[in-house]
Amino acid sequence: MTRYQPTTKDVLQFLRSLKDAGVTEIPRVHVELSEAWRRTSAESAVAKSDVSSSASPNTAGSEGQGIGRASKPRTPGVVAAKQVMEDVQSKPIQDSTALGLAPTQIDGAYPSRSQSENLDRALAILSEEVSQCQACPELSKIRTQTVFGVGDPRARVVFFGEAPGADEDRIGEPFVGKAGQLLDRILSASTFRRDEVYILNTLKCRPPGNRNPNDVEIQNCGRFWQRQLELIQPEYVVCLGAIAVRTLLQTDRSIAKLRGDFHRYRGSKVLVTYHPAYLLRNESAKRLVWEDMKLLLSDMGIEVPKS
């Protein structure tokens, strides 16, 4: 299926419609323009409300509210619509697909904050794109729903897993089955609440029979998690299990060899540890995961609990 690519004329028309609706400022997030173009005029009114609130100093303050020790503040800067119109005339608009990075680009820095000012909205648009994705025919045909990610997008630490299972497919949230309950206990023991971190998977759709994702599926879905991390820009990524490790770090080295030290994905420090599902089958590995979590906490400057 050919993706719709708005022309500069389309974008200008869209911006004029926003202007006619009374919008004077919009977030400087180019990805939103091509996606928002598809919205109806009624939704434009909602966009106006969103834009207005993001421009408000009060909203900037509320974005910081409830951000705990594991979260970091964001500044939702805005630019005048006139400036954006000049921008779109001087360079092509990119959609989130075009912004997706090749999996091998693990060393480049994250883009500047100006590309991801309206974080919640950019993630919502990306989530909507994921929900429409049919790149993997087998998975998109049998899924109940896509499983995008959950938690605080301003979190310092992101937990990166493998793929949804049956419970996740049913509920639409990562790590909600038995392995998810164990992850919650690991988080709790590490003094994190689930809503203080962000949790996502390599794949957004459940592989049938809980089989491992294949290489094509991992490749297909790469642009989505890459874009999520690009938006969230976490200080730390904790890779849970071999598939997450292989996908993020582009390595076939074992978890046993990689754990116990920090690695790098773009601007994030990466810690490698075992998947909670593995711990359910291998009780003795829990001690190793706790060692990894203590290393994470120490590096984050968080006091390590006694037990």
**Which stretch, 36-44, 45-53, 201-209, 248-256, contacts ligand SF4 (CB under 6 A)?**
201-209
Q: How far is the CB of 139 from ligand SF4 (least distance, A)?
A: 5
d(CA 192, CA 297): 10
Residue 148 in contact with residue 129, Cβ under 8 Å?
Answer: no
Q: How far is the CB of 130 from ligand SF4 (least distance, A)?
A: 5
**Which stretch, 8-16, 29-37, 219-227, 284-292, contacts ligand SF4 (CB under 6 A)?**
219-227
Conformation bin of residue 191: beta by default, left when phi > 0, alpha when psi is -120 to 50: left
From residue 79, how far is each of 26, 57, 119 by CA, in Å?
6, 14, 15
CB-nearer residue toward ligand SF4: 125 or 186: 125
Q: How far is the CB of 26 from ligand SF4 (least distance, A)?
A: 28
Site string for ligand SF4, 6-45 (x = CB under 6 A): ----------------------------------------
Is residue 243 within the footprint of ligand SF4 (CB under 6 A)? Answer: no
Q: Residues 44, 54, 71, 146: which binds ligand SF4 (CB under 6 A)?
A: 146
Helix runs in the chain, H state only: 8-20, 30-36, 41-55, 57-64, 81-90, 96-99, 119-132, 137-142, 166-171, 178-189, 215-232, 242-249, 255-258, 276-281, 286-300
Is residue 139 within the footprint of ligand SF4 (CB under 6 A)? Answer: yes
Q: Residues 136, 187, 270, 289: which binds ligand SF4 (CB under 6 A)?
A: 136
Count of Cβ atoms closer than 10 Å to residue 215 Cβ:
10
